[in-house]
A and B are shown apart, each in its own frame.
Chain A
Amino acid sequence: MEFAVDVRGVSRRYGRRWALAEVSLAVPTGAVAMIAGSNGSGKSTLLRILATAIRPDLGDALVGGFSVKKEREDVRRLTALLSHYSYLYEALNARENLSLFGDPNAVLARVGLAARAEDPISSYSAGMRKRLSFARVLLQQPKVVLLDEPYGQLDPEGFRLVDEVVSELRGKATIVMATHQVERVGKFADVKFELAQGRLR
């Protein structure tokens, strides 16, 4: 597989507004791709389509050779999405939340939350939630990692954590990252795209 992600003319509408319009792009297998763009430019929509959280209205995208329209189960097995939704149950603690996805012990230590593993999520700060979401992504052992604003709400230490994890995953998985940290990510990204008003620039 030459391209892990192959987006072909994808458009998506919310109500009467087109959030994505005829976007086509390809990310080689094992590469780190950066998608830049201002708020509301369609970055999240694109990642959500690649993760099969939503369907494209027009066009199709292949993830690992599978269509996000027709082979959703297969795409889901390959991908993990770090969304701006945390996907966490407030009433459960960190360990319980993660155990829905796999064995939580190793990753909890990896993201620096081992000490707070038994506390309910409702007592967590925004940055801690982000770390926990990151742990979930690692736990899914994805071939294609979709990161939506991975640096958002993190402290400098968290920034380093993201960088480390990305460099660890590099080569093992394809990474697509939507971010405002253009300079930081620009240093290590292999391919760069920019979205503006739902279109590729």
Chain B
Amino acid sequence: MIVMRERSIVPGIVLLLLAAWFGFAVALANHYGLDVSFGISTGLQAAIAAIAGIVGAVYFLVSDNLGPSLKAARLLVVLGIACFLLGSWYGLFVAPPEKFMGQVQRIMYVHVPTAWNGLLAITFGFVCACVFLFKSDWKWDARLEASIEVGVLLSFLLCCQGAIWAKPTWGVWWDWDPRLTTTAVLVFAFLGILALRRFVEDPLRRAVWSSVATIIAYVDVPIVYFSVKWWNSLHQQQSSPQTVSSQFYLPLRMNAFGVLFIMTGFIMLRSRIARERVEQELAPPLPRAVEMQEAV
């Protein structure tokens, strides 16, 4: 039975609103001639947005076993879709085409948010794995399964988008760029872990093994990145959002928060499903007690 303790969703909502405010609302208002930044510098705004966004998302993620979480998760998904639609509309129709890459560059407005959030989901999975190994609490196993699954999905989408972007830009579908290649390796590594979960019937073993495998695979990610980078050092450097105009980073950030909200909601819902399944596996009722005798 899932324990329903009440935990207010207000702090999470406040954090996410704060993040959204400094993430894109200020810039959006600015675009229409309003100043709502309270005099905070753009750099600090970005930092507040990123930190509040991550903390708020994590606040929701670790409340998935609590009372109002179902409602909160649905709310987040709806909110995320709204942000994402707004950001995409802005990115597709309002923002001007980029100087060098033209219309193609607009895929960046989904590509970069997917990348950030995919990495965030996998990182959360890694944290879940570590916590599970120390505390052996089942809710962390459920969160691990959920975040890895969503992380793999986002990373897979990332690979597809990368290929779509690479074709018109470099003339090939696949380019052995360190980021793209690392993502592909990551997809396979974590798909393996999801497959492992399918094949282990004992819930405890499944949980421990997938935690161990997650830690090992996560540690591998930076090593893969650096090795591929050395192996093939011919790629454009990442353009930092600070150097481009607000018309470029506005849709980027709206989508980033959109995907973040959707992802958080999905992980919460998915982890609930995983948890219910584990509860079913774990808690068959003890057979009815018959009279006990000390010795026969």
Contacts and interface: CB of A to CB of B under 8 A. Distances in A.
B296 A194 contact: yes
A192 B294 CA distance: 9
A96 interface: no
B292 A198 contact: no
B293 interface: yes
Interface string B256-296: 00000000000000000000000001101011011011111
Contact of A16 (B281, B289, B292, B295): B281
A106 to B, nearest CB: 36
Contacts of B289: 21-22, 199
Nearest to A13: B284
A159 interface: no
A21 B295 CA distance: 16
Given A15-B201, A22-B289, A199-B290, A193 B284 contact: no
A140 interface: no
A22 B286 contact: yes
Contact of B296 (A18, A22, A24, A193): A193
Nearest to B287: A21
Given A15-B201, A16-B281, A200 B292 contact: yes
B284 A192 contact: no
Nearest to B202: A15
Interface in B184-229: 201-202
A153 B293 CA distance: 31
Interface in A1-19: 11, 13, 15-18
Contacts of B286: 11, 18, 21-22
A192 B281 contact: no
A15 B201 CA distance: 8
Mostly helix, strand, loop or mixed at chain A's interface? strand
Contacts of A25: 294
A191 interface: yes
A200 B284 contact: no
Contacts of B293: 200-201
A67 interface: no
A16 B284 contact: yes
Nearest to B204: A55
A197 B292 CA distance: 13
Nearest to A193: B295
A17 B284 contact: yes
Nearest to B281: A16
A192 B287 contact: no
Given A15-B201, A16-B281, A197 B296 contact: no
Interface string B113-126: 00000000000000
Nearest to B291: A201
Nearest to A37: B296
A197 B287 CA distance: 9
A199 B292 contact: yes
A47 interface: no
A36 B296 CA distance: 10
Given A18-B284, A22-B286, A192 B295 contact: yes
Nearest to A36: B296
Contacts of B290: 199, 201
Contacts of B282: 13
Contacts of B284: 13, 16-18
Contacts of A198: 287
Contacts of A201: 290, 293, 296
A18 B289 CA distance: 12
Nearest to B286: A21
Contacts of A191: 295
A30 B162 CA distance: 71
11 contacts: A11-B286, A13-B284, A15-B201, A15-B202, A16-B281, A24-B292, A193-B296, A197-B287, A199-B289, A199-B292, A200-B292
Interface of B: 201-202, 281-282, 284, 286-287, 289-290, 292-296
Given A18-B284, A24-B292, 13 more contacts: A13-B284, A15-B202, A16-B281, A17-B284, A18-B286, A22-B286, A25-B294, A197-B287, A199-B289, A199-B292, A200-B293, A201-B290, A201-B293
**Which 6 pairs across A and B sit closest by C-beta, in order of nearness?**
A194-B296, A16-B284, A21-B286, A21-B287, A200-B292, A192-B295
